[in-house]
Amino acid sequence: MSFWSRLINVFRGDSLSREILEEYKAHVADAVAQGLDPLDAQRNFGPTLSRLDVSRDFRLIPWLDSVRGDAVFAWRQLRKTPLISLAAILSIGLALGACASAFRLIDALLLRPLPVDHAERLFVLSHEVIETVDGMPLTNDFFAYPIFRRLRASVKQQAELIAISYVSRIDVTYGTNADVEKANQQYVSGWMFSALGLHPALGRVFSEDDDKTPGAHPYAVLSYAYWQSRFGGDPQVIGRAFHVGADTYRIIGVAQAPFTGTETGTTTDIFIPTMMMKNNATERSDYEPFRAFVKLKRRFDRAIVHDRLDTIFHVWLREYAKTFRTVSGQEIQAYVNQKLLMNSAGAGVSKLQADYGRPLVVLGILVSVVLVIACLNIANVMFVKAAARSREMALRISIGAGPGRLVQLVLLESALLSCAGAVTAGAFAWWSAPFMVKMISSPVAPAQLILSTDWRVLGFCAGITCAVTLLLCLPTALRVSAAEPVNALKGDTLRSRNRFTYSLIAAQAAFCFLVLFVGTLFITGLDRLLKQPLGFSPDHVLTLETLTTTPVNAVFWEQVADRLRALPGVKAVALSEWPLLTGESWNNLVSVKGAPASPLRSYFLSISPSWRQVMGIPLLEGKDFRPSDRTPGSAIVNSAFVKEYLGSGGPIGKSFDMVTFGGSRLSFRIVGLVADARYRDVREPMRPVAYVPFTAAYTRATFIVRTIGDNPLARATDLRREIIRARSDFHVGNIRTQDELVQSHTVRERLLAILASFFGTVALLLAGVGLYGTLNYAVLQRQREIGIRIAVGAKPGSIAIHMAETAFSVVLLGAGVGLALGMTASRYIESLLFDVKATDVWALGIPGITILMLALVASTPAAIRAARIDPATTLRAE
């Protein structure tokens, strides 16, 4: 009989038995028909039921049949207490789903290899300045092209070096009258495709010949995904032209799916050869736009290649440092002593990874801890239920069930729970992982994380479901397999059981404290970050970044601003090169009275005369720019600037030089002093800023519009239309509110705080339910004992206090362990916290008080119940 028919027979056990019995009966009937007495015929046949068992075992798969039987039994057990089972499934589902979705994100961001040939042989170079001014090592992933070219030549035998720029969001037009649209573009070495083993899906991809002469290769390769979404997979796309500003590119091919660049979290739509980068980017050494990827020819050459690159890099650093004229000796030393790092880039390299890698791992650990709490709760319930069934178990052992069989029964019950939980979790993770991606995406840095469900995710989910199953059944299984039937039938020893449930409660309290502690750290950090003074008022301010194809004089920019001022709903309009807090900056060294430049750089920003007022930055001394002010010439500085470079005495009328990287000096006279305002980042201390007049010709500038009404974005369409109507060569790019820009700096902190407080609440709830259930059950168990105590004169109050005492000591013990865990963990997360230490009063006090409140609330019902026990009723019931 085949395996399949035996497998099928497992699931039709009853009809199988009927069939076999029918055969037996027919046999006896035949014997009777032959003239035998029915009783004799039956006796000749022998014992029917034991024969049936033997026959059944031949016709199905015995072990599977016992599993099926136990599963059915376990299902009935769960159905007996539907509410508890549902709560168990939901709490496991939530925690498991959170783990799964955290892992999905971790996988997509950090683990999944790039879809390239031998991703494990791909590395990326970075250089690290160790001796910095503030003592924090500064890592930079980007390189100038000349040094890249030299590095590439030095390891030609062992590896291929590939230059890949950051991804920029560009404005593209297909055809002359077509609308402008956004696309992600990346400059890549022509040999990238062949080095990564990527073939064209259509047309051809770049070769080394497409990346030789600056400005001579106006070609583009599309990513497959972009080709599909933008062109619907139209093969006619080859040869089509598109415009970016004044430049025209021709599409020569589509790269094979699913490659969308090396920047995990950003999908590249258009690849362009590095030689097409503007501003002489491939010839200059002072401009670092490229990541340098290393694709080894053989895996084991890593150390050799790294050594060789390191040597060449330092030769170049020493050479190049000789060209520095304005830099102090100490800085030159730090520059020359940089370290060259070569890290794995198999999963791609991106800012998103750097920003969110660690937070995601922390969140993953946090939700795992919540999962453990949920599991401990349910393990406790199962343990108590098994204790209630100890007589049944003892009976099973007495009639011959081995410990293995009983463990199987318990295992199946927990497997049912965890599998049901896993199904819930799957639904939850399906929804929550994309939701998280949306949360970490900001208008400044949109996150496009490809969330595919691959074998790693499925394996992780299967593994964690197994772990949950084991965790759920372990305490009960240990107990059941060690059970002595005699003891169980006589009545179990209560003491050891209680000690065990209390240690589970202590463990829960410990984990709960850990989650609360970490959550409090994140929330306190966010709170302090949000309380950082901005120095300007971002509300109702809309920023419209505007681009032109050729430089346009400031006078014409101002004319457009005048037209915007006339629109309804507009209070004031100003111009600057870019908005505050986009992360963009222009910085230079500053020298006062011809002295050598100070090591700390100052930020610079070109602003129109009304800018300060529109931004709401207070004027402390002097006056705003007038239209007659020019760059170089007049400057407005902030307080930090005065403190850093000028010292005491009124700054108005004093002069300073802006020292460019090449060493040239531009002179400025200070006409105004303004209060400090954030420029690039809200985390750094207030830095020196010099504002200079917006008077040159610009290809890009931003209209800063203070609007009337609640939602500044409501004005966006009108403003954009008015700009285009005023100047047909103006094109409006990003439109963002200043509030959005400010908030984009705290996305990570907000995400961590929101999720940590959510899971903190879940952990608290689970631990509370666990404690409540255990205490209540303990009172029920000790009803008789308490009844006797009260009968012989114990006061109800002291009974209640005794119960509460037990709860508190268990919770306090747990909290102590949790504190130790939290202190250890805090070292790992300190880099994610803004201005908070683990020893902070708030960070310790809030979780401590919360968990004590929890113990109080959860133990009150049990204490009241214990105090209300009526000895007469209880003793009579016995």
Site residues, other proteins (CB under 8 A): 1, 6, 19-20, 22-24, 26-27, 30-31, 34, 41, 44-48, 51, 54-55, 58-59
Q: Are 138 and 123 in contact (CB under 8 A)?
A: no
**Please, which residues have CB within 8 angstroms of residue 831's CB and are 6 or more apart in sequence?**
358
Identity of the residue, 5 or 452, whose beta carbon is nearer to other proteins in the bound complex = 5
Q: Cα dist. 829→360, 363, 509, 519, 823 in Å? A: 11, 11, 21, 11, 10
3-state secondary structure string across 414-427: HHHHHHHHHHHHHH
The length of the chain is: 878
Give the DSSP per-residue string, 495-560. HHHHHHHHHHHHHHHHHHHHHHHHHHHHHHHHHHHHTS--SS--TTEEEEEEEEEEEEEHHHHHHH
Phi, psi (degrees; rounded to nearest 5) at 664? -75, 150
Minimum CB–partner distance for residue 55 and other proteins (Å) = 5
Identity of the residue, 26 or 708, whose beta carbon is nearer to other proteins in the bound complex = 26
Q: Are 145 and 300 in contact (CB under 8 A)?
A: no
List the one residue out of 745, 735, 743, 678 whose CA is nearest residue 703: 735
Q: Cα dist. 720→244, 544, 704, 705, 715 in Å? A: 20, 8, 12, 12, 9
Minimum CB–partner distance for residue 5 and other proteins (Å) = 10
Torsion of CA 503, 505, 508, 510, to 10 degrees: -60
Identity of the residue, 35 or 793, whose beta carbon is nearer to other proteins in the bound complex = 35
Q: Cα dist. 733→546, 557, 698, 701, 774 in Å? A: 6, 15, 15, 10, 61
Minimum CB–partner distance for residue 160 and other proteins (Å) = 60
Identity of the residue, 3 or 300, whose beta carbon is nearer to other proteins in the bound complex = 3
- Alpha-carbon distance of 150 to 154, in angstroms, equals 6
Identity of the residue, 54 or 864, whose beta carbon is nearer to other proteins in the bound complex = 54
The gap from C-alpha 303 to its chain's centroid, in whole angstroms, comes to 32
List the beta bridge partners of residue 219.
250
Minimum CB–partner distance for residue 17 and other proteins (Å) = 13
- Alpha-carbon distance of 405 to 389, in angstroms, equals 15
Minimum CB–partner distance for residue 41 and other proteins (Å) = 8
* Strand locations in 708-798 (E): 730-737
Q: Name the 3-class secondary structure at 243.
A: strand
Minimum CB–partner distance for residue 11 and other proteins (Å) = 17
Minimum CB–partner distance for residue 67 and other proteins (Å) = 19
**Please, which residues have CB within 8 angstroms of residue 237's CB and are 6 or more apart in sequence?**
202, 222, 227, 231, 251, 254
Minimum CB–partner distance for residue 13 and other proteins (Å) = 15
Taking the CA of residue 100 as centre, how many other CA atoms within 13 Å lie in the half-sphere pointing to its CB? Answer: 31
Minimum CB–partner distance for residue 49 and other proteins (Å) = 11
**Please, which residues have CB within 8 angstroms of residue 190's CB and are 6 or more apart in sequence?**
206, 207, 208, 209, 210, 211, 212, 217, 273, 274, 275
Q: Name the 3-class secondary structure at 210.
A: helix
Minimum CB–partner distance for residue 35 and other proteins (Å) = 12
Identity of the residue, 47 or 594, whose beta carbon is nearer to other proteins in the bound complex = 47
Identity of the residue, 31 or 823, whose beta carbon is nearer to other proteins in the bound complex = 31
- Alpha-carbon distance of 144 to 287, in angstroms, equals 5
Minimum CB–partner distance for residue 399 and other proteins (Å) = 23
Identity of the residue, 24 or 586, whose beta carbon is nearer to other proteins in the bound complex = 24
Token pair listed for 237: 């796309």
Amino acid, single-letter form, for residue 828 = Y
Identity of the residue, 37 or 283, whose beta carbon is nearer to other proteins in the bound complex = 37
**Please, which residues have CB within 8 angstroms of residue 97's CB and are 6 or more apart in sequence?**
424, 425, 426, 427, 428, 429, 432
Identity of the residue, 48 or 207, whose beta carbon is nearer to other proteins in the bound complex = 48
Minimum CB–partner distance for residue 3 and other proteins (Å) = 10
Identity of the residue, 45 or 586, whose beta carbon is nearer to other proteins in the bound complex = 45
Identity of the residue, 35 or 232, whose beta carbon is nearer to other proteins in the bound complex = 35
* Strand locations in 223-280 (E): 241-244, 247-255, 270-273
Identity of the residue, 60 or 451, whose beta carbon is nearer to other proteins in the bound complex = 60
Identity of the residue, 40 or 785, whose beta carbon is nearer to other proteins in the bound complex = 40
Minimum CB–partner distance for residue 53 and other proteins (Å) = 9
Minimum CB–partner distance for residue 402 and other proteins (Å) = 23
DSSP letter for 746, please: G
- ∠ Cα 813 816 818 (to 5°): 110
Q: Are 574 and 561 in contact (CB under 8 A)?
A: yes
Minimum CB–partner distance for residue 72 and other proteins (Å) = 24
**Please, which residues have CB within 8 angstroms of residue 185's CB and are 6 or more apart in sequence?**
167, 168, 169, 170, 244, 268, 269, 270, 271, 272
Identity of the residue, 45 or 500, whose beta carbon is nearer to other proteins in the bound complex = 45
Minimum CB–partner distance for residue 63 and other proteins (Å) = 15
Minimum CB–partner distance for residue 22 and other proteins (Å) = 8
Identity of the residue, 51 or 643, whose beta carbon is nearer to other proteins in the bound complex = 51
Identity of the residue, 6 or 314, whose beta carbon is nearer to other proteins in the bound complex = 6
Describe the chain by its helix, strand, coil percentages, rounded to 5: 55, 20, 25
